[in-house]
Amino acid sequence: MPYKKVSYKETSCKQAPPKNGFFKKTILTTVMLTILTPTFVSAAPTAQEKPATTFTIDKNNQLKSYLDFDNKSDFEDAKRGFIAKWPEDTIKDSDGKVVWDFSKYDFIDQDKGAENINPSLLRQAKLNNQDGLFKVADGVYQVRGFDLSVMSFIRSDNGWIVIDPLISEETSRAGLKLLQENIDDSPVVSVIFTHSHVDHFGGIWGVTSKEAIESGKVSVVAPEGFFEHSIAENLMAGNVMSRRSSYMYGNLLEASSTGQVDGGLGKTTSTGKIGIVDATIEATTTGEVLKVDGLDIEVLMTPESEAPSEFIFYFPKYKTMMAAEVMTHTIHNISTLRGAKTRDASAWAGYIDQAIRTFGDKTEIMIASHHWPTWGQDKIENQLEKTRDMYKFVHDQTLNLANQGYTPNEISDKLTLPESLDKEWYNRGYYGSVSHNARATYDFYFGAWWDGNPANLNPLTPEEEGSNYVKAIGGEDKVMDIAEQAIEKGEYRWAVTLLNNITFSNPENMEARYLEADAMEQLGYQSESGPWRNYYLGGAKELRQGIKAVATPKTDSIAVNMPFAQFLNYLSVTVKPEVAEGLDYKVNINVKDDGKYSMNLSNSTLKSYSDTQFKEADFSINLSRDSFEKMISKKSNLKAEMKAGRLTVTDQAKFKKMMSVFGTFELWFGVVTP
């Protein structure tokens, strides 16, 4: 079919159509058709989504011929032991708001718009669409497809042990109800958190209560350091992590064949109420055996693998290993796109090797915090061995190439897995990818900000660089002409690179933004990784429509558990240096039912201290832990607490001056726009 250039039609986008560039040549009273090539159909860039081009379809078809799509064993495993579905299409919170919608992914099983989805990602999306309650073995059950993660249930002497109660209490409560109505209504006697990420502990109050834990009726098991890491990881850089998460998990997109289809690990994140509680039993040592309600649990610690605090474990009674997130049915992230500390691929591979040597010869079932189980000792060992070798190959060959002088992007482009690893479905990049894990490994050893080339030692800002590139190329019209030619050849990465310069030098040029969105969209349709697709399509949406707020998980209930010392550390990040300049304050803080703290503001820098106070402070602050928690959870504010006398200060003027140095962060800042 021919390439088409068509006239500009006004869209619902709020920005007025610009008057320069591409549209000077295309605004006509009638459609002007120009046959350029028989390869694909394109239209003048607008704020509308576009379907996959033949370049994208051809590239995706190449993957179909490379991978063994006739192998249906994963589908058999994903459906094995099915018992029941949630009886409704949605799960709602107490206000009737939908926090999880099963039905919005129906289009995946119907193959609607399949040409707009990487076929390998579509396969994973279909597997992750298998939702409901499943029997893994006698005494072992799972609820899958109720959230990004999987919730497992193990029968113990007196009830149920719950492993990883999802993100939101609404989804975990529904999962527990499905289990108790279909299997038996025995109580929850223990909850296990495998690691310190919110999709594995947030739903705690859907399966138990504070009273049950405090009374000792329910124990909580977690790896050493769980509570501190759970709060700290998303605290200091929490705002930007949340913004990037909205991209990574497809929260910005509608579920559709041209939008969000899957997160790789699961569908997406639920948006209900999140909770947290500290462990009553802590796993600390590899080789120790915990006894929980009569059930032995053999421990293998895996800190600083997928999470700072994590462990995997084995149930001898059920011959079942829980692999947490160290072992799933996808390549995982050495560096996650939402932002977190870079992980050690070599240590990760080492933990898997240790699991093989510790549990491999006696494990008949392997479950994990995501996806479906693996049955059979030989199959489990093969999966563990090839997953281990995948992580180690990426690690070793990244360093091999780095030692030859290759830079991160060169390594990322050059490094491919051997077919013996690459063709295994669990080694495909549905979540992480070989590409960005190679760059992450380089980062782990050498740092990410510089590739060693002095030309990149002190780069221009994106706005300055964009402006200079556009001028050097000959202006915005010329850049767009070159980008159009790239798009006509299916060179979408080059087109995005070119047009990004216009977007950052002149974000008001909507023609360039629409054209960049068209190219970015095709990269999304080609992506095997769910997060990559979500990022590309989220970027295209921001380019076309601007920034729009979306529903995100409610984290207030985690914040109330924040140690006060961590809050003071976070407060230092919010200092506005231009306002703080010249100020020098020493402040003592007395927190009733918590402790004594102090902080020093000098040189536009805030320092904080626990369990110590200044002999001569400029002023003191007195409050209760309850007041702090109410303010953190936004149930109250500073003014209200002071008016009620629950927060007092000894020098109002200095206090007011000091408070003025602290700023707040806007969540919905531009990502693909300045």
Q: 518-564: per-residue pLDDT in tens?
A: 999 999 999 999 999 999 999 999 999 999 888 776 666 677 888 99
Q: How far apart are CA 672 and CA 666, in angstroms?
A: 16
Residue 112 confidence (pLDDT) above 90: no
Last residue of a domain, one of 418, 446, 474: 446
Last residue of a domain, one of 420, 446, 472: 446
Place of tokens 């990883």: 164
Residues linked to residue 152 through DSSP beta bridges, in sequence order: 142, 163
| Residue 19, domain member (yes or no) | no
Q: Using pLDDT thresholds of 50, 70 and 90, give the confidence band for residue 43.
A: low
Domain ranges, residue 248:
81-446
Last residue of a domain, one of 399, 425, 446: 446
For residue range 632-674, list pLDDT tens digits in order. 888 999 999 999 999 999 999 999 999 999 999 888 889 999 9
| Residue 285, domain member (yes or no) | yes
CATH number at residue 168: 3.60.15.30
Specify the pLDDT at position 72: 96
Q: How far apart are CA 17 and CA 633, in angstroms?
A: 43
For residue range 533-544, list pLDDT tens digits in order. 999 999 999 999
For residue range 462-510, list pLDDT tens digits in order. 999 999 999 999 999 999 999 999 999 999 999 999 999 999 999 999 9
Q: Is residue 590 exposed (0-12), middle (13-18) or buried (19+ Cβ within 10 Å)?
A: middle
| Residue 343, domain member (yes or no) | yes
On whether the pTM is more than 0.85, the answer is yes
Specify the pLDDT at position 419: 97
| Residue 139, domain member (yes or no) | yes
Residue 25 confidence (pLDDT) above 50: no
Please write down the HEC assignment for all residues of 316-345.
CCCCEEECCCCCCCCCCCCCCCCCCCCCCH
| Residue 410, domain member (yes or no) | yes
* Same domain, yes or no: 287 and 163: yes
Own/partner pairs for 53-58, CB < 8 Å, 24+ apart? 53/490, 53/522, 55/489, 55/490, 55/492, 55/522, 56/490, 56/522, 56/525, 56/526, 57/115
Of the two residues 27 and 451, the one the predictor is more confident about is 451
* Same domain, yes or no: 437 and 566: no
| Residue 622, domain member (yes or no) | yes
| Residue 35, domain member (yes or no) | no
| Residue 555, domain member (yes or no) | no
Number of domains in the chain: 2
Residue 30 confidence (pLDDT) above 60: no
Please write down the HEC assignment for all residues of 435-490.
HHHHHHHHHHHHCCCCCCCHHHCCCCCHHHHHHHHHHHHCCHHHHHHHHHHHHHCC
List C-alpha distances in Å: 441 to 184, 251, 334.
47, 28, 7
Residue 42 confidence (pLDDT) above 70: no
Specify the pLDDT at position 1: 29
Specify the pLDDT at position 232: 81
* Same domain, yes or no: 228 and 364: yes
CATH number at residue 571: 3.30.1050.10
Residues 6+ apart with CB under 8 A from 574: 662, 663, 664, 665
